Amino acid sequence: MAEPGVFEVIYSTRAMRRLKPDPIPEETLKKIVDAGTRAPSGGNTQEWAFILVRDPDLKRFLRDYYWNTWQQLRAKRMIPAGNLPPAQQRMLNAAADLAAHLDEVPVILLACAHQEYTPLAAMNNPRANTIVIHGSIFPAVQNILLACRALGIGATLTTIHCFFEEALKQKLGIPDTMEVAAMIPMGYPQGKFGPVTRRPVEEVIHWDRWGQQKG
Ligand SMILES: Cc1cc2nc3c(=O)[nH]c(=O)nc-3n(C[C@H](O)[C@H](O)[C@H](O)COP(=O)(O)O)c2cc1C
């Protein structure tokens, strides 16, 4: 089957949270990560690593921490609990389902980045460090999401792991020098890919100066 064109992929790469347990072939996983590594990074340093978690015990470990964190956030009302517009409620229900069933997805990808941007280390500029570190991993993460979509695999960028990152790093033997920037559950989708809806482009473009929204 022909792969969809780039704009079709971009306009239909939604967060896909309800996934089938069917395994994803290793060659497909390599192709997805390889697409990730075609992304830019500051100074082309490529100080990244991508862990593909398939081991059932490790997936259960991730699920238990993720689900506990989800419930804690909910108890503290950091995740809203009802009275939401229908679209937001649907998203929240799907996110809760993903949290509860995380161990049932075939693969959980962890996108790891060096905690310090080595060329800037001597400058002691935390702001530049943060921008360049995250700016050097999220293009790869987006390439991975797009590659998944192009290959018919559902995926969601998640970040709840940052509440248990130390335990996660210890369990998986991730070096102290690295951080886990994103956790991406992946699997063949139960539903269909659909169009992404976003704010109208006219609302977010500023021509030449802030606030000048007519070209
Ligand atoms: C930085 C970031 C963090 C996110 N964290 C989570 C998360 O922890 N759990 C989750 O289910 N979705 C998470 N998402 C997914 C967003 O909720 C999703 O991309 C957004 O609602 C748009 O969804 P759509 O593409 O299906 O329209 C995250 C997305 C981003 C960019």
Q: What is the pLDDT of residues 12-45, one digit of tens each?
A: 999 999 999 999 999 999 999 999 999 999 999 9
Q: Are 151 and 31 in contact (CB under 8 A)?
A: yes
Length of the chain: 215
Interval between CA 121 and ligand 1 midpoint (Å): 30
For position 64, which CATH number holds? 3.40.109.10
Q: From atom 4 of ligand 1, which residue's Cα is the shortest distance away?
A: 158
Q: Residue 108: inside a domain, yes or no?
A: yes
Q: From atom 29 of ligand 1, which residue's Cα is the shortest distance away?
A: 157
pLDDT band at 195 (very low <50, low <70, confident <90, very high): very high
Which atom belonging to ligand 1 lies closest to the Cα atom of 198?
A: 27
178-184 mean pLDDT: 98
Closest CA to 187 of 59, 32, 17: 17
Helix (H, G, I), strand (E, B), or coil: what is residue 143? helix
Q: Residue 212: inside a domain, yes or no?
A: no
Q: Residue 209: inside a domain, yes or no?
A: no
Q: Residue 177: inside a domain, yes or no?
A: yes
Q: Residue 1: inside a domain, yes or no?
A: no
Per the structure, the count of domains in the chain is 1
Q: Residue 138: inside a domain, yes or no?
A: yes
Q: Indicate the average pLDDT of the chain.
A: 94
Q: Residue 164: inside a domain, yes or no?
A: yes
Rounded Cα–Cα distance for residues 203 and 152 (Å): 31
Please state the pTM of the whole predicted model: 0.96
Burial 148-180 (b: 16+ CB within 10 A, else e): bbbbebbbbbbebbebbbeebbeebebeeebbb
Interval between CA 10 and ligand 1 midpoint (Å): 15
Ligand 1 site residues (CB inside 6 A) read 14-15, 17, 91, 95, 98, 156-160, 196
Which atom belonging to ligand 1 lies closest to the Cα atom of 197?
A: 27
Which domain does 77 fall in, by range?
6-204
> Residue 22 corresponds to which tokens in the numbers above?
């069917």
Q: Residue 102: inside a domain, yes or no?
A: yes
Q: What is the pLDDT of residues 121-171, one digit of tens each?
A: 767 788 888 899 999 999 999 999 999 999 999 999 999 999 999 999 999
Q: From atom 9 of ligand 1, which residue's Cα is the shortest distance away?
A: 158
